[in-house]
Structure 1
Amino acid sequence: MNPHRPGTLITAAVASLLVAACGTSSNSDRGGRGSQITLQIWDFSAEQVNFHKDVGAQFTKEHPNIKIEWRSITQADYMKTLPLAFQSNQAPDMFYWNATGLSELLDQKWIAPLNPNGTVPADFAKRWPDGSFLDGINTQDGKTYGFPFSENLYWGSGYMFLNKQVFQQAGLDINNPPKTWTDLRNACAQITSKTEAECIAAPTKGEDMQRLWYGLISSVSTDEFFDYKTGKFNLTDPEQVKTFGFMQELKKAGYLAPGTNDKNFSRQQFAAGQAGIYFDGTWMLSVFNSQGFGSDKYVVAPRVDPDGGPTGAGGRQHDGNKYWVSSQTKNPDAMWTFIQWMTDPNGYFVKQYYKNAFGTLAYVDNQKTVTDPVLKQIMQIGAKPGYRVQLPEPLLKCPDLAKSKAYVKALGKTPDGEWEAMSEALVSGQPLASVGAAIVKQRQTALEEELKKEAAGGLKVSMDCYTFPDWEHTKDYTPDMYKN
């Protein structure tokens, strides 16, 4: 191994993954001379592999001329493999992506309209609530590129999972979960003193830290690294610093599982009864099921609030657009056929998705459709007033932001900067305010300077587009408020 050439090794490893992911489909499989078209779909939902095989088989049964080849790649590898696939002109026909939005995907020339004609028919759009298709979010220049897949009230992070066995061993009442930061400290003290388990299985490796972070910050301010009330990147704001300080207290007291662990390790640690508490999102029901950890072995509870009560809430955004048609597909008509089939509220995909309790979809009446008791419990928590609130949408205030690249460019400055700063501060014990100052300044400066350039070029944009002083962190920002 040559220590001076790490890039070569990484490229070779990713290239091998790409070859494995792409397989050896012939041109006829891709819609050339053969009678059956093969559509390739990629994502990183390992727990849904069997479901996707079943879905593909059923779709082909109904549409014999189209074969579905649905592949799942581990998330870390996927984030490298997909860009490489586009660079080498080997991208799938449809892919899962929520790391960036419509603007960047269009700039990268990764996506094509859902319907080859550009627009979608009214009966298709009516599957979603009014306001689900917005310029700059999933439509651009009269063409529709995305559709909300996951709904944004129940689906998301900020839930607390409790291991029944560990709580019982600690002498804690599983039906009376910690509700405040002090409750959490007290529960952790009891778990660590009376059992051999860790208290909190908390991943702290890179972006995986969001599992615990969102379980705490969502009750304090906004779970974004940008505050739409002030129009500022907010990692170093007092509310964020206070919450991170609590995380540091938990670590110092020995209540966070030791080590710099990723989410997979922490999930397995919790499922194995080696930790009593784990914070994560709606998707964990299917993840735990795939690990053989049944819902009879854990309880889902709301996130914990600061002792003085909640002063913030989880944010609801128009970010449910996750599956995109690739610009490199050679079979756009077949892809559109599959999308219509996949999003039929009464169709096979939906019925099997809910049968497997994978989550909640944006184009389904979840109150009528969900039957799984744990998922119902999650819905009851998420629907509690103030648990999640609708964030302001700058595009609705300033439509020209659909043409702006300022916010995307600001986020492009050291993409994982916030998580890197938090990881450094957690390990070193330094205050987040000092460690995170550089990334906040870098992002804010980039945003403000780029908006000024765009305004000088004729766009009607400014920092005012991102500033909503009448918004409270615990309340929905409603459509009528844009008129004020």
Structure 2
Amino acid sequence: MKVLSLLLGSALALGAASVASADDTRLHMINCGDNSDEDAAVQARLVGEWEAANPGFKVDVEYVPWGQCQEKSTTLASAGNAPAIAYLGSRTLKQLAQNDLIIPIDLTDEEKATYAPPVLGTVTANGMVWGSPRAFSTKALYWNKDLFEAAGLDPETPPKTWDEMFTFAQTIKDNTEADGFGLAAASFDNTMHQFLNYVYTNGGAVIDDNGEIVFNSPNNVGALEFYGKLVDVSQPGPIAYDRAKLRPLFTEGQIGMFISGPWERNLVGDVNWGVAPIPVGPMGGPGTLLITDSLAVFKNTGVEDQALSLAKWLTSPDNQLEFEIAGGLTPLRDLPGVQALRDEDPTWSAFLDAIPTGGPEPFVTDYVGLQDVINEAVQGVVLGEVEPAEAVEYAAEQLEDFK
């Protein structure tokens, strides 16, 4: 198999110094994010190992901020100057595939079996896999134990339901100088992501298995109503906050709870914190939004086989797990090393246990349109400009254009 031979190359060459030559064929790789994190260092080493195993090919990695990288990849591809490979949000894949800009990722049954089905669901459309999952996150509830105790709450008992979460947040707000909860409602993609955690913990959905929009449901009306209710116990001006801006409030003791991913475990500083599953709504059960970022291989670059080889090398089980551990990401696969993570640090459990009951980021042909529509509904309710039922109904009608 050509791709396999490219992936393996010369086993003796792995780890050898990789020296660029003027005659090398270049692979342009666009990577959303920046190269300052520890996972970037792991990736750089793995890219070097791939180059050593595939003499004559060099990878030029270009880091582009998240707010620009996905548009840049699409624009270059549409203009006939596509990168060989790009690391971007899986939500872009259906649109890229529909526009015939990327190739499917041919996974064997054995390779597919290494992923939980909900994970593959984030990259699959029309029966084909369009990206090689690279980064994965689930979400959980962080709480400040000292603020719980100061408010008269049991610091070791987090809320398990929405009603409890609201009551606990109100108690913190009433009995301390902090706000009870951190609420994201900015015009940014993770506002939609935050809201979808409530959709999934209340038994809702955006798109069903047949690709039909099912957003207009009592479950989602209830989720949006509760999201709006949280304004009363959250920090002032939530439309100025995306999820990342909630962390400083939490680390400074200004909010008692917020929902985020496993990377916060390494970033919240000296707060006496705990982490637990996202509380469940009255119409649902345990859940979380499952988000992946993926490596997409672009068409008509002349190096599709090499780019596919690189994607598979970077996301092979052992390499992928090393990348995830370095970046504080939820592991994509249930490997022995994952259980070791849980044994060493039980705070991983809230994120790992959420995978089987999680729901994928909706896979649509216009991801920007999707997030804009849902964010508009969220902001309208948060600002008190529209009733939840009306906002959900209107959003559902608009989403029909993005299936």
TM superposition score category, shorter chain reference: 0.7 to 0.9
Deviations for 1:358-382, whole angstroms, at most 9, x for unmatched residues? 2212474564453551553224642
Are 1:350 and 2:321 matched, yes or no? yes
2:263 paired residue among 276, 283, 286: 286
* Shift in alpha-carbon separation, 1:230–1:67, aligned structure 2, 3 A: closer
Check whether the contact 2:119–2:292 (CA below 8 A) recurs between aligned residues: no
The equivalent residue for 1:43 is 31
Query: Where does residue 223 of structure 2 map in the other structure?
Result: 243
Amino acid at match of 2:278: R
User: 2-side partners of 1:209 and 1:132: how far apart?
Assistant: 21
Aligned to 2:251: 271
What is aligned with 1:73? Answer: 64
Report the residue type matching 2:196 in the other structure. Y
Query: What secondary structure, in the 3-state scheme, does the structure 2 residue paired with 1:416 have?
Result: helix
The residue aligned with 2:215 is 234
Is 1:96 equivalent to 2:81 in the alignment? no
Whole-angstrom distance in 2 between the partners of 1:436 and 1:123: 41
Counterparts of 1:110 and 1:344, CA distance in 2: 24
Q: 1:72 to 1:172 in 2, by over 3 A?
A: farther
Following the alignment from structure 2 to structure 1, what is the Cα–Cα distance between the partners of residues 34 and 190?
17
Which residue among 154, 157, 173 is the counterpart of 2:154? 173
Partner residue of 1:111 out of 99, 102, 117: 102
When normalised by structure 2's length, the TM-score is 0.75
Percent of counterpart pairs with the same letter?
15
* Larger Rg, first or second structure (1 or 2): 1
Q: Deviations over 1:105-137 (max 9, x none)?
A: 2232321355xxxx5667655655799879x92
The one-letter amino acid paired with 2:234 is Y
Number of corresponding residues: 377
The question of 1:314 aligning with 2:302 is answered no
1:301 maps onto 2:276 in alignment: yes
Alpha-carbon distance between aligned partners in 2 of 1:416 and 1:63, rounded to the nearest angstrom: 40
The reply on whether 1:209 has 2:191 as its aligned counterpart is yes
Q: Which of residues 226, 234, 240 is equivalent to 1:255?
A: 234
- The whole-number CA distance in structure 2 between the counterparts of 1:190 and 1:426 is 21
Is the contact made by 1:199 and 1:257 (CA closer than 8 Å) also made in structure 2?
no
Q: Structure 2: any 5+ residue segments left out of the alignment? A: 1-19
Q: Are 1:248 and 1:429, in contact at CA under 8 Å, matched by a contact in 2?
A: no
Segments of 5+ residues of structure 1 without an aligned counterpart are 1-31, 394-406, 451-484
- Change in 2 beyond 3 A, CA 1:259/1:366: same
Instruction: Check 1:133–1:267 CA distance in 2 against 1; reply closer, same or farther (3 A cut).
Output: closer
TM-score of the pair, normalised by structure 1: 0.64
Structure 1 position 429, deviation (Å): 4.4
Instruction: Select which of 40, 45, 48 maps to 1:60.
Output: 48
- For 2:73, which of 68, 82, 101 is the aligned residue? 82
Displacement after TM superposition at 1:202 (Å): 1.0
Aligned to 2:6: none
Q: Which residue of 2 aligns with 1:431?
A: 387
Alpha-carbon shift at residue 320 of structure 1 (Å): 4.9
Secondary structure (helix, strand or coil) at the match of 2:280 reads coil
- 1:58-105 CA-to-partner distances (Å, cap 9, x unmatched) read 442563345444444332223433333334444432113335465432
Alpha-carbon offset, residue 443 of structure 1: 4.0
RMSD: 4.1
Distance verdict in 2 for CA 1:163–1:390, change over 3 Å: closer
After superposition, the Cα gap between the structure-2 partners of 1:279 and 1:210, relative to the gap in structure 1 and judged at 3 Å, is farther
Query: What are the superposed Cα offsets for residues 137-167 of structure 1, whole Å, 9 maximum, x if unpaired?
Result: 2687xx864334467xxx434x211134433
Structure 1 partner of 2:202: 220
Q: Write the distance in 2 (CA, Å) between the matches of 1:125 and 1:266.
A: 36
From the superposition, tell whether residues 190 and 92 of structure 1 become closer, same or farther in structure 2 (CA, over 3 Å).
Answer: same
Which of 155, 168, 191 is the equivalent residue of 2:172?
191
Q: For 1:323, what is the secondary structure of its paired residue?
A: strand
- Contact 1:55/1:349, CA 8 A, preserved across alignment: no
Please state how far the C-alpha of 1:325 moved relative to its aligned partner.
Answer: 0.9
Structure 2 counterpart of 1:209, which letter? T
CA distance in 2: counterparts of 1:213 and 1:93, whole angstroms: 34
List per-residue Cα deviations over 1:435-482 (Å, max 9, x = no partner): 3433323445x59xx9xxxxxxxxxxxxxxxxxxxxxxxxxxxxxxxx
Displacement of 1:38 in angstroms is: 4.2
Q: Which moved more, 1:94-103 or 1:242-251?
A: 94-103
1:200 equivalent to 2:200? Answer: no
Residue identity matched to 1:163: N
Counterpart in 2 of 1:388?
357
Mapped to 2, the partners of 1:440 and 1:85 lie a distance apart of 32
Q: Is the 8 A contact 2:138 2:262 kept in 1?
A: no
